[in-house]
Amino acid sequence: MRTHPMKTADGTTAMRDVFIAETGRLLDEEPRTALVLADISAGHGRFADAAVKHPDRVVNVGIREQLMVGVAGGLALTGMRPVVHTYAPFLIERAFEQVKLDLGHQGVSAVLVTVGASYDWAEGGYTHFSPRDVALLDTIPGWRVVVPGHPDEVAGPLRDAVLGDEPVYIRLSLRRNATPQPVTDRLTVLREGSRAAVVAVGPMLDNTLAAVEGLDVTVAYTANVRPFDVTGLRMLGHDTIVVVEPYLAGTSDRVLRTALADRPHRLLSLGVTTADLHAFGTPDDHDRWHGLDPAGIRAAVGDFLH
Amino acid sequence: MTSTGYATARELVSRTVVDVRYPPNNYTFDLLWVLYDRILAVTPQTAEHPHRDRLLLSKGHGPGAYYAVLAAKGFIPVEWLDDIASAESALGGHPDATRVPGVEISSGSLGHGLPIGVGQALGLRAQGITRPRVYVLIGDAELDEGSNHEAIAYAGAVGLDRLTVVVADNGSATHGWPGGIASRFAANGWTTATAGITDHDALTAALRADTPGRPHVVVATTNPTED
């Protein structure tokens, strides 16, 4: 393999590194916190240390994702706050019935933190791609979804999630923007224009900014996609909206159209297609194949604005 | 032997026809009775107490006997048994823990109770709550679900000794369990015991035959000569 599935190529801090360090601190500080793993990241130094310090609260069940989520439900039923972590497809897709039944249906919740995103480890191929995770979580009630766009956008939402009681999904990625944005519940307006509002989600911001350079459009950013800041969306004051998401295209379509149902509007939803490309390469290659590189976004937005 | 209330509870089962496929004379009745009458340290007053014993009815199908025992033991009003699964009823064709006092988990889809029970046993241990046991009742056909085998392997490997699985074995697994159900658990380090599913004293002894450092399984069978 030419690339590590979960580490940055240049050795800089990845979102996962921040997650692991902050979870280690939360395990030290907050006795309610429990960490449930299915081997992935268990060997990372900080987690290995935490397992020694907190052997009853760091649980590695082996490569058993159904059990991992069931165990999280059981821990929560006894009053613990479980943080559950593995590759996105193995947690959200493989163990989806456990996510549906062993948490919310039991009246409890957990913090789910995944790596892999839509095609972080492009060399690994389709089995490790999870573009449909947020769409799946949209089919069950109550999930807060955080899609950080930079490693500095991880610790705050993670800490809030662990100290709270909501069901929270944090979708980590190796894709990142050059600079962090403040993580708030509101859309952050980065620039204003007159022809349309373009909302970039998480790691899609830099490609989006490059794509719309020179276009007279508003650009807004969010890492908090559920609940979506529909009030902020309406306050942008545009009836022509583009959303650029790093997961399945159209994932937020229903949410945005519902928010805008009482006013005439046009909506373009860009994201990852459902195609199984049977292809490897790099994440940049997949951006290009799904039309999410700057040129692809530019072309789609240009067509939409005529 | 029968305790006070056994006959009454047995009578209550006939009020609970919730699924035409499972007759009210439910084969798990005696097993559930023994658990609530002799084994579980839980009462209606302690049903939310952190130090209670927990019974997770993973096999949520045909819960008539379960509801009857809960009513006989005072967890729910007896009158609830008369309109199970109606629009107003908290008692459904599968138990809903968010609506029924004394019910520990919402079940129905098979293979969820044991992983949750493993999590509960871990959660209690992590909080220094060492007295309670977590009991999970599963069916022999439910054991087909792979999630159970994830849990059996893990709980045995880590010696989760506040966990007891009770397998209600009425020989309904489509492909059977050649070599016996208990052997699946024993191979993973569990202690095992077998008893007739209506033999109160044998069930009691089997349920009390756990050993420190190892999870325990009781195979409660409708055919004690076979296992």
User: Smallest CA–CA separation between A104 and chain B, in Å?
Assistant: 10
The two domains A15-171 and A188-301 share their CATH topology (first three levels equal): yes
d(CA A133, CA A89): 7
Rounded to two decimals, the ipTM of the complex is 0.96
B211 Rama sector, left if φ>0, alpha if ψ -120 to 50, beta otherwise: beta
DSSP string covering A90-133 = IIIIITHHHHHHTTGGGT---EEEEE-TTTTTGGG-GGG--TTH
Chain segment B137-163, per-residue pLDDT in tens: 999 999 999 999 999 999 999 999 999
3-state secondary structure of B200: helix
* Percent of chain A scoring above 90 in pLDDT: 95
* Percent of chain B scoring above 70 in pLDDT: 93
Q: Are strands A224-226 and A144-146 parallel, antiparallel or unpaired?
A: antiparallel
- Is A77 within 8 Å of B123 when comparing Cβ atoms? yes
B→A contacts (Cβ < 8 Å), by residue, are 50, 97-98, 104-106, 109, 111-112, 114-127, 129, 146-147, 150-151, 153-154, 157
Q: What's the mean pLDDT when you consider all of chain A?
A: 97
Nearest CA in chain B to A95: B147
Nearest 10 degrees: Cα torsion B208, B114, B44, B206: -10
Q: Are strands A188-191 and A218-222 parallel, antiparallel or unpaired?
A: antiparallel
Amino acid at site A32:
R
Q: Is the pLDDT score of B9 beyond 50?
A: yes
Return the structure tokens found at B35: 């658990």
- Is A64 within 8 Å of B153 when comparing Cβ atoms? yes
pLDDT at B2: 42
d(CA B40, CA B21): 29
Reported as a pLDDT band with limits 50, 70 and 90, residue B118 is very high
Report the top-level CATH class of A15-171: alpha beta
Report the top-level CATH class of A188-301: alpha beta
Chain segment A193-206, per-residue pLDDT in tens: 999 999 999 999 99
Return the structure tokens found at B123: 């959660």
Chain segment A209-225, per-residue pLDDT in tens: 999 999 999 999 999 99
Reported as a pLDDT band with limits 50, 70 and 90, residue B191 is very high
DSSP string covering chain B = ---TTHHHHHHHHTT----TTS-SS-TTHHHHHHIIIII----GGGTT-TTS-EEEE---SSTHHHHHHHHHTTSS-GGGGGGTTSTT-S--SS--TTTSTT--S---STT-HHHHHHHHHHHHHHTT--S--EEEEEETTGGGSHHHHHHHHHHHHTT-TTEEEEEEE-S--TT--TT-HHHHHHTTT-EEEEEETT-HHHHHHHHT---TTS-EEEEEES-TTT-
Provide the terminal-to-terminal Cα distance of chain A, rounded to the nearest Å: 43
d(CA A131, CA A247): 4
3-state secondary structure of B182: helix
Chain segment A274-295, per-residue pLDDT in tens: 999 999 999 999 999 999 999 9
Q: Does A99 touch chain B (CB under 8 A)?
A: no
> What structural domains and CATH numbers belong to chain B?
6-221 (3.40.50.970)
Partners of A199 in the β-ladder: A220, A243
Closest residue to B116, CB basis, from A70, A80, A97: A70
Q: What DSSP state is assigned to residue B96?
A: -
Mark the ranges of chain A whose per-residue pLDDT is less than 70.
1
User: For chain A, what percentages of helix, strand and coil (3-state, to nearest 5) are there?
Assistant: 40, 20, 40
d(CA B165, CA B69): 19
- Is B112 within 8 Å of A61 when comparing Cβ atoms? no
Return the structure tokens found at A52: 């020694």
3-state secondary structure of A222: strand
Q: Which of A110-114, B5-9, B122-126, B178-182 has the lowest mean pLDDT?
A: B5-9
Domain range list for chain A = 15-171, 188-301
The DSSP element (H or E) to which B137 belongs, if any, is strand B134-139
d(CA A259, CA B111): 39
